């Protein structure tokens, strides 16, 4: 059997801890995964995995071999790129991004990249939480954050501004909001990743923080956007989602002179050492794409 594929299967199983998960991710049958692992063990003349009905784990030899096999795969991939034309990028990229950013902004960019590089395949994993990129075999994650995970390599590729919004109907039926302090008396919509809902706002050199009451929380921006549009309360939304609805009159900016803190849009990856030319090309493409204002 193909040793290169067998090595890829071994590495994937080592991180996933599941033959079934690896079979699904690599689009092969579970018996085929088993055969590839057996091929690796025959090749290296050692048992690489402990297998039980409940758990798959690395043996001591498997732990020693894993890093070496990963380096071998990286070298093999680099040799493959050397043998191709410089512009003929290929391969599969596993990309993680939030649903809201992927739907509204990332897909147009990705479509342009794939048009330039038709041999590249991209698999998008929609996530609104920080994932373990190594364990989940994610090549690249697009994240919006003030401070990204320090264990990852991050390249800022854009800025994310936010705005407070509510439906005209909600505002007509609620007490007027003329200062940030008035937000404490409003129904607000919050992200449930935070135990306390504190909105930080600025106006020129002025800064203020307001504790808000959130009757409705969610872990995903478009859900809160729809809730605001249907009159559920005031939401803090990225402008890449809210601006079009404000222009159409479906939402109204609340305290437009006060802005939430901007955040950076990062392209994050586990290691600069193992970054493939195809992933590097995608990062550079996204960086250039988002230098132009898109929202």
| Average pLDDT of every residue of the chain | 89
- Name the pTM for this structure: 0.70
Distance (Å) of CA 135 to CA 21, 60, 122, 173: 12, 19, 18, 49
Whether the Cβ atoms of residue 255 and residue 193 lie closer than 8 Å to each other: no
Reported as a single tens digit per residue, the pLDDT across 24-81 is 878 899 999 999 999 999 999 999 999 877 788 999 999 999 988 988 887 776 665 5
**What value does the mean pLDDT take over residues 205-228?**
95
> Does the pLDDT at position 215 exceed 80?
yes
Nearest alpha carbon to residue 133 among 74, 101, 93: 93
pLDDT computed for residue 49 by the predictor: 93
Packing angle, helices 30-44 and 3-16, rounded to 10: 110
CATH 3.40.190.290 fits 162-261, yes or no: yes
Reported as a single tens digit per residue, the pLDDT across 155-170 is 899 999 999 999 999 9
Domain residue spans of the chain = 3-83, 91-155+265-289, 162-261
pLDDT computed for residue 1 by the predictor: 62
CATH 3.50.50.60 fits 3-83, yes or no: no
Backbone angles phi, psi at 160, to 5 degrees: -120, 110
Same fold, 91-155+265-289 and 162-261: yes
CATH 3.90.230.10 fits 91-155+265-289, yes or no: no
3-class DSSP state of 226:
helix
Comparing 126-130, 142-146, 166-170, the range with the smallest average pLDDT is: 126-130
pLDDT computed for residue 130 by the predictor: 59
> Does the pLDDT at position 210 exceed 80?
yes
Whether the Cβ atoms of residue 267 and residue 158 lie closer than 8 Å to each other: no
pLDDT computed for residue 195 by the predictor: 57
Residue 272's pLDDT band (cuts 50, 70, 90): low
Whether the Cβ atoms of residue 259 and residue 235 lie closer than 8 Å to each other: no
DSSP 178-189: -SGGGGGGSEEE
Residue 294's pLDDT band (cuts 50, 70, 90): confident
**What value does the mean pLDDT take over residues 246-251?**
97
**What value does the mean pLDDT take over residues 6-27?**
88
Residue 242's pLDDT band (cuts 50, 70, 90): very high
Nearest alpha carbon to residue 14 among 42, 32, 40: 40
pLDDT computed for residue 133 by the predictor: 76
pLDDT computed for residue 136 by the predictor: 75
């Amino acid at each position: 059997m193909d040793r290169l594929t067998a090595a890829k299967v071994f590495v994937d199983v080592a991180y996933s801890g599941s033959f079934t998960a690896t079979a699904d991710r690599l689009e092969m049958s579970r018996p085929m995964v088993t055969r590839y692992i057996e091929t690796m063990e025959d090749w290296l003349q050692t048992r690489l995995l402990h297998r039980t009905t409940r758990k798959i784990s690395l043996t001591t030899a498997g732990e020693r071999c894993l890093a070496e096999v990963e380096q071998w795969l990286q070298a093999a991939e680099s040799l493959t790129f050397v043998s191709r034309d410089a512009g003929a990028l290929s391969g599969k990229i596993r990309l993680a991004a939030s649903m809201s950013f992927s739907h509204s902004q990332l897909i147009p960019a990705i479509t342009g990249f794939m048009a330039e590089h038709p041999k590249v395949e991209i698999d998008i994993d929609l996530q609104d939480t920080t994932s373990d990129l190594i364990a989940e075999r994610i090549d690249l994650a697009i994240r919006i954050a003030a401070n990204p995970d320090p264990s990852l390599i991050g390249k800022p590729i854009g800025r994310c501004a936010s705005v407070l919004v509510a439906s005209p109907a909600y505002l007509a039926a609620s007490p007027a909001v003329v200062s940030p302090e008035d937000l404490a008396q409003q129904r607000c919509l919050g992200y449930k990743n935070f135990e306390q809902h504190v909105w930080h706002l600025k106006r020129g050199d002025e800064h203020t923080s307001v504790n808000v009451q959130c009757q409705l929380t969610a872990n995903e921006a478009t859900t809160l956007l729809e809730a605001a549009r249907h009159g559920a309360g005031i939401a803090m939304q990225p402008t890449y989602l809210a601006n079009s609805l404000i222009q159409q009159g479906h939402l109204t900016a609340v305290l437009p002179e006060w802005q939430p803190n901007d955040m950076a849009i990062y392209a994050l990856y586990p290691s600069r050492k193992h970054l493939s030319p195809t992933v590097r090309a995608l990062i550079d493409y996204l960086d250039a794409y988002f230098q132009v204002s898109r929202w």
